[in-house]
Structure 1
Amino acid sequence: MPKLKRLSCCGGGNPCRILSEVRVLHGRSFTAVAVAVALVVTLLPSSATASDTLPWEGVAAKGANQPYQHGYTSADLLRWTPESDLFGDMTRARVPLQPRVAPLKATQADPNLDPAVQQLTLAGDYGNAFFESYPYNNEFSAYLFNYWQYTDYYAAWHGMPTEGVPEKLYDPKLDWREKWFEFGMLNLPNSGYTNAAHKNGVKSLGCIFFSENDRGTQTYTEMLVQDENGDYPVARKLVELARWYGFDGYFINQEEPSVAVADIPRYKAFLKVLRDSGLYVQFYDSVDTITGLRVYQNEFNSQNSPFVRDPELGDVSDSMFLNYWWNKSKLTSSRNHARSLGLDPRRAVFAGLEAGKDQFKQRFNLDDNLDADGVPMNGIATLGADFVHSDMADKENDAKQWQAYDRERRWWTGSSTGGADDAANWKGISSYITERSTISGTTFDTTFNTGHGLEYVEKGAVSNPAEWSNINIQDHPVTWQWNISASGDGTPVLGVDYDYGPRYTKADRFSYQQVGAYQGGSSLVLTGDLAADNYLKLYRTNLSVTDKSKLGITYRKVSADDASQLRAAVTFADDPDTVVHLPIEASGARTGWTKASLDLSPYAGRTIVTLGLFVAAGPATIENYQLNVGRMTLTDGESHVPPTPTGFHIRAALTGTDELELGWNLDDYDRVAEYAVYDNGVYLGGTYDDVLYVKRFTGQKGTLELRAVGHDGSVSEPAIIRYDFRRAPGDVKATTAADGSVTVTWPKAAPGARVRLESAYSGTRIVREVTSTDATSATLTRLPTTGGHYLVTVSHSSATPVSYRGEFADTHVEAYPAALVTVTGNLFRFRTPSTADWYKLHVKEDGVAKTFATTYSSGAKPYIIRGRTTLAALTVMMDRLDSEVTVTIEDYAGNTTTTVVRAALAERLSEGGLRVP
């Protein structure tokens, strides 16, 4: 994108691990690219002190077999199947997209805003290192987005190495250019983020990105390949991929210097395949449809609008992300042009903001997107709003996380505290976008769980003392953070915060006693001097009240007994301006966790449209007031307890690395909100999925329980697995020989142990089974020697089976096809192979290596290196017409084989004539 952009986006904007942030300005033409390179040395931001995210260390470090996502090239997609994709069964999003409640102006923080104006957030998810895109992990300081209510589309912006890249190739201590491996042109959204997005009615998008630097030799032409019927196989695979992994579409950033004019109709037809398949597609304002050049219009006009609505093809995408250099005139013209095409500019045109670069000092004012009535004319899109965490100094320090929360709140609401506007140059996204919600029906449950914690709590007691992050189980975020008011002009309001317990470092402005969660990782705390009645509006809802409805509030009055009173505060659709109070008796007394049940039957037939809390003050100011709310639950008198889960089993007990993989049958989301797993009563993790990876499992004997959790907070009876590893053969290991055989060993004698090996993440299923004859080992033969993954499991007697994940031998590499070389005279144009099994191509002329330029002007290499050689460098002029030209392909395992592309002249003459390849 044309912006001051991290050079570290060699990983596609993924936070590369550099100690100072270097930015480069992408230009509007071929010549500007050279200028951009020259600007590198001068564009070090003076205020940049934060480092990029490093791989987690210590207990948070990646587990030996921890599932993570990877990137994809076009060639990868053509080979893709769900069964063959690495961790394709462990990184799926399963929560269906939830419908949002209809807008109601009376509930809006700003009734003058237009709820039809849409917002797209293009940002990193979790802020992981390149090989660490996990759906959950045991690290509190991971970034978790908490403002779904202001966005309609969340698109993943980061880079991922392609499958098979050895992690040893990445050294985070080196300069950002020293990443000599391939990033895919496609990265998927994190599955945990997709689940959280869908819970809140937000569509989740993958990101397709092409540029002359960030993706090496990859180019859009590989993506637009057509079959014999004129169809687009890569597009079909993109559709299949999105459906398998459970996300909703793609953001496409085409930023190579140009698209051939002849390819533009094909590009639009490609987009149309995606859109007509039901996917959402947003295209970036980067290609002039007349010239094909990388030109940023900075407005929606006739030169870029055909990438949304084409005169001949019709709608080929859903919307366009406008480049950032707009003004009021351009945005007004954009609105008018969209309307002239019959498009709604609030949904089809998105005024882009460079959040990550400009942060709270935006060069372009979103007020320029307002019409005469103060209403946005076009949608709004932001790039890099995760800067609130990713660009924060010491961001991996648990004690600094309160700063990220303040920064995120400031970005979205204009206020770091949730109170008065404290950002002179930044009004917040909520000044332009109305709040949204999916909270509807007759039941609702929240524990104010933001998706991470320094411990996991069950009903007020610590179940697991370890820290964690898991956006899969994040509750609906509080709609208004924070909308609190006090009676009387100028009366100070209570402070509102999330309380993560005694180990949490809170903001300096708070002095409350940290009691932590009632359930999950956090509770809501109201604290300060209570000088007047306080009203805290929390959730936008559409909850139907029945004659059996009850509202449960679990609270803990921490400060001393006083004359205050806690009340539920609701408004109804038929009278949204009137706040109805539901008092909780004796709530001014100090208590432990206490559950109040409020009868809603007098309001049967009505619909709750906002849900909040009211603190009635006493006759005098109450100093140091503190009350924590741990849960709010609406029930309708009917049983919504999910049935006991079925099919609960151990997929793999990887005891040698203290890992565990569990599986079960997935019930419908209408009945189950999430699943929770326990080991001897200790919480291990949760998700809405049919699999769970447990990173730290050291149990020897006990009981695993799986419980289904309903949308009203109800919990099923458990499915149970009883395990006993004390009688097992011990930690299983396996070694692979060059002939492909796998020798499995274990420490404890186990005569007659059954050993089963099966391939994993392979298009071809391979199963081998043997019975051990020497009690401590077994060898399996007739196995692949071309690489790949396997799972081996040892079963003995009544002990719980133990497993090991390993790699097949890799002693072969496919020869480089000579057909991939186009020769014109002495000019050779090489293409990279479509096989997944290659790392370098050594091109030699008469035994002398040719050199190839690398991306970011990082120096020439005596080989073509996957992911880092420039596309232009693949065209080579040989020195002599009579020379021998060879290509030696090398894979990641070091295997090589050589192809003669052009024989030496003497050899050609000896064969009876001069042959021209």
Structure 2
Amino acid sequence: MNPSETPRATRPTRRTVVLAGAATAATALAGPAAAATGAAPEAATPAAAAANAPYASYWYPDSLPAGTPGAGITWRGLKTWRADDDPDLAFNRASVPLAPRFTPVPVNTTARAGQARVSSLVSFGPTAQNPSQGSATADYYALAHWQYIDELVFWGGSSGEGLILAPNAPVVDAAHRNGVPVLGNVFLPPAAYGGQLQWTRDLVQRDPAGGYPLADKLVEVAVAYGFDGWFINAETGGGNAALATDMNGFLRRLRALSQARGLKVTWYDSMTTGGGVSWQGALNSANQTFFQDASGKVSDSMFLDFRWSAATLASSGTLAQNLGRDRYELWAGVDVEASGWNRSVNWNAIVPLDRPHVVSLGFYRPEWTRNQLPAGRTPGQFHAADDRFWTGQSLDPSSPDTAGSWRAPAVTVADRSTVRALPFASTFNTGHGLRWYDRGTVTSTTAWNHLGLQDRLPNRRWVVRTTGVRPAVTFDFADAWRGGSSLLVDGALTAPATVDLYSTRLPLTADTVVDLTYRADAGPVVVELAVATREPATPGAAVPYTYLPAGTLRPGTGWSTATLRLSGLLAGQPSGTVHALGLRLTAGTGATSVRFRLGALSVHNATTAPAAPAAPRITSTAPDTTGTAFRLAWDRAPGAVRHYELHRVLPDGSRRFLGGTPGTAYHVPAVQAEQGESAVRFEVRSVSEAYQVSSAVGTERPW
């Protein structure tokens, strides 16, 4: 049943049923979907804590619950937080600035620029013990379709753990690399989920000078941690008009401070002007004061509860415009937590195909694409499901499925890109993997995830233009040149096939070159680099590529790199612009199918190794479950650095990859002494945007 059509009176009854069978409701990740639909809360089940390990931060506003916290949970109030006293700040601080984006000519005729946007509310892990810097598993929601998203909310919070969540650094760094702002979450839960009205009063409390100290703290946290603002969700009932007035004042203060620091505030449709909670599914007189009042903007956008209808969305958009606001600052909530693309949604009420979009889209819990897979799920299975969610059943945004019940974002929302400066490189690393590769060699056999290491991935996955049989294009985790994955083209190739990779705005000069690192596992295959110096004339038209020979690959010859100069594309001009990059593959003599692997693509004028980091040091150690845990830090290298990589130097002189981060601190768990090792030695290297690597700096500790 569409939540927008669920009778309002069913809420308490359905919650009662849920609570009767949920002994852990107090530590549940309840949220607006649970409040609106009665969906069963997701129990927070933190893994066993690693010694000295940093985790994403969470707080109560001020007062704490009665009793004692559960295992692995730390209770603390935000009001007393100070950056100087935060021992995990170096691990949680994002390092990648928010990149500017551009919108290329849409890849199909139904996607539109400048209309509906997409907000995505994602729970990447439990509230407590959500690792600050990834973990040793590839089973992770490695969000990769940033090209359709305009705002990401780091969802979570519970009455038994904490209500205010700061996003962890890997999520923010990956989002920023793709131009997507990330909001922390403030969740004041319904009483049925352990919510206490005192926590709402704590949030909006005034100081003797009439200020709102928690608004100030929220901005301090966002600036210190490097994310982009807050999603405010006040769902604890029982308030009055005075409390609503205080909430309005709190929001005004929060937005004023946020605006001065380039931050955003999104309000969830819950509290009304009377101070109670009544989900409207609309912007109307009952909640307008939290969006805009007589003095101006109160929040930057509003997430409308799932109970919208075509009529309420239409009236909401009209009201927003009458207030002088953009109708696309309203997100129509679509709950996909339980059923994903099987959800019945009145898409024409939000993003009709035959007239302007009504409001924007707000997805609640799209990590369903991972969660719905069975135990033992693989990264490849996850990306196949995620591609279907964002691109549609056709798996090709240039020919999207508009007839099915699921209207994927690629059908209606134009994709964006941040590939606009040199050097640009990608190793097609999705931010998780079954092992770690360096120049085609496995340097760690440990599964891993860390979104901060994710590359900017092809923004049109997967457009394949051919007059013959269409081969499959995927991210593959069985082998890679660098990181955890490579791009694999696999299948019949009865005619040349052009694969779109990146929409770009890269400057082109006589010095610009492209390096391709690739391999043929079956073939042979003839490879051409596809380069466009202009965009298609109309939406949906094929990119006007020029094709540059890049070699013929034969199976069994291993990885190789081709360097191609682009100066011939200038046509006598001193400079130009590369608007798109792709590949054209043709089956070689005697071949009817291919298995082609692209490990890296790099566009640059010249490459130089980055400077090394300085002063590597071990800042603390602690006994761990099977060894010793280390906290390491170093000083940032001068100049541009994409990220840092850490290795352990083994007694035989070989190196084992431990992890990487765009930041300057890292936690290494469970280190054990090797045979004959008198001291453990760590090395840190800088990695540039072109994947050039600095010399190593090291530190050690005797056993």
State TM-score, norm by structure 1: 0.66
Q: 1:652 aligns with which of 620, 623, 630?
A: 620
The answer (yes or no) to whether the contact 1:655–1:698 under 8 Å persists in 2 is no
Q: What is the SS of the residue equivalent to 2:217?
A: helix
Q: Give the structure 2 partner of residue 663 of structure 1.
A: 633
Q: 1:150 aligns with which of 148, 159, 174?
A: 148
Q: What is the SS of the residue equivalent to 1:614?
A: strand
Gaps of 5+ in 2: 23-33, 63-76, 538-542, 650-654
- Does residue 81 (structure 1) correspond to residue 89 (structure 2)? The answer is no
Residue-by-residue CA offset, 1:87-142 (whole Å, 9 max, x unaligned): 23322222221111x2232x5344651244321100111x3474234421111112
Offset of residue 51 of structure 1: 9.0
Q: 1:341 aligns with which of 315, 318, 323?
A: 323
- Does residue 199 (structure 1) correspond to residue 177 (structure 2)? The answer is yes
Residue-by-residue CA offset, 1:803-843 (whole Å, 9 max, x unaligned): xxxxxxxxxxxxxxxxxxxxxxxxxxxxxxxxxxxxxxxxx
Q: 2:133 aligns with which of 121, 124, 135?
A: 135
Q: 2:211 aligns with which of 231, 234, 237?
A: 231
Cα distance in 1 between the residues matched to 2:615 and 2:242:
54
The answer (yes or no) to whether the contact 2:103–2:417 under 8 Å persists in 1 is no
Q: Give the structure 1 partner of residue 552 of structure 2.
A: 586
Counterpart code for 2:619: R
- With over 3 angstroms needed to count, the CA separation of the structure-2 counterparts of 1:293 and 1:53, relative to structure 1, is closer
Offset of residue 50 of structure 1: 13
The answer (yes or no) to whether the contact 2:58–2:127 under 8 Å persists in 1 is no
Q: Give the structure 2 partner of residue 310 of structure 1.
A: 293
> Where does 1:169-208 land on structure 2 (aligned, <5 Å)?
182-208=160-186
The answer (yes or no) to whether the contact 1:184–1:215 under 8 Å persists in 2 is no
Counterpart code for 2:630: L
- With over 3 angstroms needed to count, the CA separation of the structure-2 counterparts of 1:115 and 1:618, relative to structure 1, is farther
> Where does 1:603-682 land on structure 2 (aligned, <5 Å)?
603-604=569-570, 605-618=575-588, 622-637=591-606, 639-654=607-622, 657-667=627-637, 671-680=640-649, 681-682=655-656
> Where does 1:308-707 land on structure 2 (aligned, <5 Å)?
308-312=291-295, 314-346=296-328, 348-370=329-351, 373-394=354-375, 397=376, 399-415=377-393, 417-418=395-396, 424-486=404-466, 488=467, 491-501=468-478, 516-560=479-523, 562=524, 564-573=525-534, 577-587=543-553, 590-604=556-570, 605-618=575-588, 622-637=591-606, 639-654=607-622, 657-667=627-637, 671-680=640-649, 681-699=655-673, 700=677, 701=679, 703-707=681-685
Counterpart code for 2:521: V
- Does residue 715 (structure 1) correspond to residue 697 (structure 2)? The answer is no
Offset of residue 481 of structure 1: 1.8
Cα distance in 2 between the residues matched to 1:375 and 1:640:
48
Q: Give the structure 2 partner of residue 280 of structure 1.
A: 264
Residue-by-residue CA offset, 1:397-421 (whole Å, 9 max, x unaligned): 2x54433222211111112755876
The answer (yes or no) to whether the contact 1:82–1:89 under 8 Å persists in 2 is no
Cα distance in 2 between the residues matched to 1:69 and 1:619:
54
> Where does 1:2-151 land on structure 2 (aligned, <5 Å)?
28=8, 32-33=11-12, 36-38=15-17, 54-56=45-47, 62-75=49-62, 76-85=77-86, 87-100=88-101, 102-105=102-105, 107-110=106-109, 112-125=111-124, 127-128=125-126, 130-151=128-149
Counterpart code for 1:459: R
Counterpart code for 2:437: V
Counterpart code for 1:698: Q
Cα distance in 1 between the residues matched to 2:17 and 2:483:
51
- With over 3 angstroms needed to count, the CA separation of the structure-2 counterparts of 1:421 and 1:113, relative to structure 1, is closer
Offset of residue 696 of structure 1: 3.6
Q: What is the SS of the residue equivalent to 1:584?
A: strand
The answer (yes or no) to whether the contact 1:51–1:391 under 8 Å persists in 2 is no
- Does residue 300 (structure 1) correspond to residue 283 (structure 2)? The answer is yes
Q: What is the SS of the residue equivalent to 1:695?
A: strand
The answer (yes or no) to whether the contact 1:647–1:664 under 8 Å persists in 2 is yes
- With over 3 angstroms needed to count, the CA separation of the structure-2 counterparts of 1:317 and 1:662, relative to structure 1, is same
Cα distance in 2 between the residues matched to 1:435 and 1:499:
23
- With over 3 angstroms needed to count, the CA separation of the structure-2 counterparts of 1:252 and 1:82, relative to structure 1, is same
Q: 1:219 aligns with which of 199, 203, 212?
A: 199
Offset of residue 225 of structure 1: 0.7
Cα distance in 1 between the residues matched to 2:394 and 2:449:
23
Cα distance in 1 between the residues matched to 2:595 and 2:609:
33
Cα distance in 2 between the residues matched to 1:724 and 1:288:
58
Offset of residue 449 of structure 1: 0.4
Cα distance in 1 between the residues matched to 2:212 and 2:384:
46
Offset of residue 55 of structure 1: 4.5
Offset of residue 663 of structure 1: 0.6
- With over 3 angstroms needed to count, the CA separation of the structure-2 counterparts of 1:359 and 1:574, relative to structure 1, is closer
Q: What is the SS of the residue equivalent to 1:64?
A: coil
Q: Give the structure 2 partner of residue 264 of structure 1.
A: 244
Cα distance in 2 between the residues matched to 1:482 and 1:460:
24
Larger deviation, residues 522-531 vs 652-661: 652-661
The answer (yes or no) to whether the contact 1:659–1:696 under 8 Å persists in 2 is yes
Residue-by-residue CA offset, 1:615-655 (whole Å, 9 max, x unaligned): 124577x3341110000001112x44321211211212446
Residue-by-residue CA offset, 1:146-190 (whole Å, 9 max, x unaligned): 111111111011236xxxxxxxxxxxxxxxxxxxx8221211222
Paired positions, count: 645
Offset of residue 276 of structure 1: 1.4
Identity of aligned residues (%): 28
Cα distance in 2 between the residues matched to 1:258 and 1:655:
48
Q: Give the structure 2 partner of residue 860 of structure 1.
A: none
Counterpart code for 1:184: G
Task: Name which one, 1 or 2, has greater alpha-carbon Rg.
Answer: 1
Cα distance in 2 between the residues matched to 1:473 and 1:390:
22
Counterpart code for 1:212: A
Cα distance in 1 between the residues matched to 2:611 and 2:701:
27
Gaps of 5+ in 1: 5-24, 161-180, 502-515, 727-917
Q: What is the SS of the residue equivalent to 1:356?
A: coil
Larger deviation, residues 686-695 vs 641-650: 641-650
Residue-by-residue CA offset, 1:344-393 (whole Å, 9 max, x unaligned): 112x1111101113422323222222357444221111111111112433
Residue-by-residue CA offset, 1:427-471 (whole Å, 9 max, x unaligned): 212222221111111211100001111111110111112111111
The answer (yes or no) to whether the contact 1:3–1:26 under 8 Å persists in 2 is yes
Offset of residue 32 of structure 1: 5.0
Q: What is the SS of the residue equivalent to 1:441?
A: coil
Q: Give the structure 2 partner of residue 908 of structure 1.
A: none
